[in-house]
Every structure is written in structure tokens, then in C-alpha cells.
Structure 1
Amino acid sequence: MKVSIGGPLKLAFRPWVEGLENIPAEGPAILASNHLSFSDSFFLPAVLDRKITFIAKAEYFTTPGIKGRMTAAFFKSVGQLPVDRSGARGAGEAAIKSGIEVLERGELFGIYPEGTRSPDGRLYRGKPGGLARVALATGAPVIPVAMIDTEKIQPPGKVMPKLMRPGIRIGGPLDFSRYQGMEHDRFVLRALTDEVMYEIMKLSGQEYVDMYATAAKRQIAEAAKAEREAEKAARAALVQAQKEQAEKEKQQES
């Protein structure tokens, strides 16, 4: 299934790749990537010879009907692992446990430290819980990855993807063995995550924003809501002014 999906993706979009030699031929490794698009989890597996497992919402695998079964089959084929994200803390622990299990099998584990897709193409602060804890629990090397231009292929609101060449830059492995046994130190978790994000920033060339992407999305949503309300109020004020003007003209005529 991976071949049947990866082949057409590479043929249609012809993604360019730098740093494939940094992916180990065998053994566990964590691929920590920026997250620009829904398609990131498809393009990266498509260019790798080895299987890579990502975390995905359990709903993608449990939706009923033909469409639901097709979606589940597609996500399984590209190495997505279902995790119940119904509770913030429970979801985080489930993701960490799943990542550790993947790495203990000697496989590749993919993770997006930002926790969600970038709302505007910039690189946001990494969340220290998942990436750092999995890295310290397993001792697996962390390989920074930068997805390039994937957000331009299918921008929000667009149904049909744009045929263009996305890029993937893969950096050298990062060794955090100096932090072994310190997985409960929040300052260590923060330092490890920030180091990985810095490497991703160098690879991607993105502007870095020192806030979480989830907070940025809330700000953007609130600003859009405020703009809509302002436009609605302006239209209402215009209608009221027109009514008052019409009433004034009517009184003058009489």
C-alpha cells in the first residue's frame, strides 16, 4: 500500500529531498518535523525507504461508512497510528506511550513538536512534553526535518491540490544522551525541545514565533470574529443611517 500511494505522490508532485543520508538504515530514530500541511504526513513517508509512524486522531480510524473505512485504510497505509485524544492529558500520555513502543521495535517515529499545523507558515514554539519525553525515555536520536512549501499545495478552503514541487530537508541526528535520567526536569525538556526547534528553523528558513501555534490559532480566530462583528455593526449602522435619511426626506416633502 505504501508503494501504491508513495509512487503516485512522487510522480505527480516530484518532491525534492536533501539529507536522506541522515536517515539510519536500521534502528530507532525520531523524526521531528515542522507542520505546514495535512499532506506532510504523506510526503515524508513517500520519500523514505523505511516505514515511519505518526500519531493521528482516533476518529480518522473509527468513522463509520464506506468513506470512513477508506479513510482508515489510507491512514494505516501511510503509517498513521490512532490515538484517543479525547482528554488533553490522557492524549499526551497515550501519544508518548505509542511513540516509545514504536521506537522499542527499532522503527522510525514521526512527531510534530508544534502540536498542530502552523496557521500562517511560520514556525512556532515546540511543546516539550511529547518529543523530549520520548527521546529521553528511549535514547533514540532526534532527526530534525523541514517540510518546504507543502502549505501551498492545498491552502485552506481549496478542494483541488495545486501541482507543485514541495521540498524536504533532513538534518543530522541530534544526540541527547547528556540528559539521560532527567526526563522529569521541565527545564531539560524545554532545552531539548528548543534545540530541536532551532535546527528545524535553520533547515526550513521559517520565521520563528516564540508562542504556541494553538495560541496563535486562537488569536487569529478571535481577530477574525472581531472583524466580522465590526463589519456587521458597520452594515447595521449604514442601514440605520439610510433609514433616518429617508425618514428626514419624507418629513421635508410633507
Structure 2
Amino acid sequence: MYWVLKMLLLGPVVRWFARPRVVGRLPKGPVVLAPNHLAEIDSLVLCAALPRRLTFVAKSEYFSRGGAAAWLYGTLCRLTGQVPISRGGDGSADGALAAAAGILRGGGVWAIYPEGTRSPDGRLYRGRTGAMRVALRTPCAVVPVGITGTRSVDRPGRRGWSRGRVEIRLGEPLDLSGWSDRPNDPATWRAATDELMSAIRTLSGQEYVDRHPTDTERAARDAA
């Protein structure tokens, strides 16, 4: 179903609106793809524009929350084999991260937004450590990605998409050798994640905020 949606149903529509341009190459073999997150359309643009199949983690609420829009998105996630993940800090995401490790062991591409949520204001926020928790334990390439232009296509507070121009900048895989001897150390996850966010910032050109978005900022974003 992923390839049917990408090539025949949804992909052509997304490509018409976003007109994506890809700079750089996605390597072969297992990859953690780590983009910034500006708009709800980001995942669709990445899937439509990049040649390999991407498996994202999606908020678990999308798989169970009521409402037509949430049901539609949850159904799309199920049809394309996406992985539900909780944003709680109590270990509730461990199952999804284990599933992500399985994707990598199978040679696939696991895509995750290190920020954990869409930016409420276009800035780049502090990354969460899940991507590095997996990457440091599983042989893979970690590719930072800078997306620009999706907030013009999928404008906050406006229904429907506008035609625009999106650029997807694929960075060079990170060198993880400096942390490879400490794959289970939370301080190592944090340092590697900060390095990843620095690379994403360079690619996206965003202003960096060294904290996570607050509940109030996320609520204001979602209300818009």
C-alpha cells in the first residue's frame, strides 16, 4: 500500500503542491533519517520525494484518537506500516524504539523527528534522545535532514495546501565513533543528540532553542 499511495494516489498530489527538490543522497543500507519538523505535510513530502521506503514513528494518539481527521491519519499510518510511539518519559516508548531497531536490522530506513513534535513557531527545538538510543546500539547511518518551505505549503492556521517550493537537504551521515563504546549511557545519548541537532540546524538555517516546546506553545499551535 505504501508504494501505491506514493506512486499513484497521494504522492503525485503532494509533489504537485510541494514541488520538492532533494539536495544530497540517501545512503544504502540501514538509515536513521532525522529531519526537522515544520508542518504536518513534512512526512508526506519526504515519502513522496525520497526514493527509499520510509517508516516513521507516529504519535500513538493518532491510532486511537476520535475525530474524522485523526481517524483518517491513523488509518493512513496503519496502511503504510508506521510505528506508534508515546511521548511520555516513563519508558512507554521502549516498544516502539525496539520496533525501530528491527527496521534497521532489516536494512530499512527509520524516520524520526528528533524534536518529538512540530515546531510551534518555525524555530528548531532541543532534540529528544530516542533516535540515538537506537542508533548507538544498532549499526546504521544517521542522516540529518533540513527541510525548508513546508510551512508555506501547509500554512499554520489555514485549511488546505498552497503550492510552494520545498527543499530537502540531506546531510552527511554523522560520525558516531566517539560514542560507540557507551551505547547505554544517557549522557552519551544526550551528547550525540545535541550533535545531531547542530547538523540539522546547519542544514535548515533555523534559529535554535535549547529546550522542548511547552504544553502552552503546543496547544496554541494546535488551536491555530
| TM-score category (smaller protein) | 0.7 to 0.9
**Which of 11, 19, 24 is the aligned partner of 2:16?**
11
Q: Which residue of 2 aligns with 1:30?
A: 32
1:143-158 superposed matches below 5 A: 143-158=143-158
The structural deviation recorded for 1:78 is 5.0
Cα distance change of structure 1 residues 219 and 13 upon mapping to structure 2, 3 Å threshold: closer
Q: Distance in 2 between matches of 1:210 and 1:86?
A: 18
Instruction: Give the match for residue 109 of structure 2.
Output: 108
How far apart are 1:187 and its partner, in Å? 2.3
Deviations 1:187-239 (A, max 9, x none): 211111111111111100101111112x3x536869xxxxxxxxxxxxxxxxx
Q: Residues 200, 68 of structure 1: CA spacing in aligned structure 2 closer, same or farther, 3 A cutoff?
A: closer
Structure 2: distance between partners of 1:65 and 1:211 = 31
Q: TM-score, with normalisation over the residues of structure 1?
A: 0.76
Which residue is 2:188 aligned to? 188
Q: Map 1:1-254 onto structure 2 (within 5 A).
A: 1=4, 2-4=6-8, 5-19=10-24, 21=25, 23-24=26-27, 26-62=28-64, 70-78=72-80, 80-83=82-85, 85=86, 87-128=88-129, 130-213=130-213, 215=214, 217-218=215-216
SS in 2 for 1:89: coil
Contact 1:51 1:79 in 2 (8 A): no
- TM-score calculated relative to the size of structure 2: 0.85
| C-alpha distance 86-120 of structure 1, shift in aligned 2 (>3 A) | closer
Structure 2's unaligned 5+ residue stretches are none
**Counterpart Cα distance in 2 of 1:67 and 1:219:** 21
Cα drift, residue 69 of structure 1: 6.4
Is this contact kept in 1: 2:59–2:87, CA < 8 A? no
Aligned length: 215
**Distance (Å, rounded) in 2 between the aligned partners of 1:115 and 1:121:** 14
Quickly say closer, same or farther: Cα 1:68–1:208, change in 2 above 3 A: closer
Offset from partner CA, 1:127-174 (integer Å, 9 cap, x none) = 12x011111110211100011021222233211211111211111111
2:204, 2:68 → 1: CA distance?
A: 38
- CA offsets 1:42-84 (integer angstroms, 9 cap, x no match): 101111111011011334334679877654442245552234x
> How far apart, in 2, do the equivalents of 1:211 and 1:66 lie?
32
Change (3 A) 1:221 1:65: closer
Question: RMSD across aligned C-alpha pairs, in angstroms?
Answer: 2.5
Matched AA of 1:137: R
Q: Is the 8 A contact 1:45 1:78 kept in 2?
A: no
Query: Conserved in 2, the CA contact under 8 Å of 1:143 and 1:174?
Result: yes
Please say which of residues 191-200 and 53-62 is displaced more in the overlay. Answer: 53-62
Cα distance change, pair 46–77 in 1 and its aligned pair in 2 (3 A): farther
CA distance in 2, matches of 1:219, 1:53: 27
Instruction: Give the fraction of aligned pairs with identical amino acids, expressed as a percent.
Output: 41
Q: 1:157 to 1:207 in 2, by over 3 A?
A: same
Q: More helix by proportion, 1 or 2?
A: 1
Q: CA deviation at 1:105?
A: 0.9
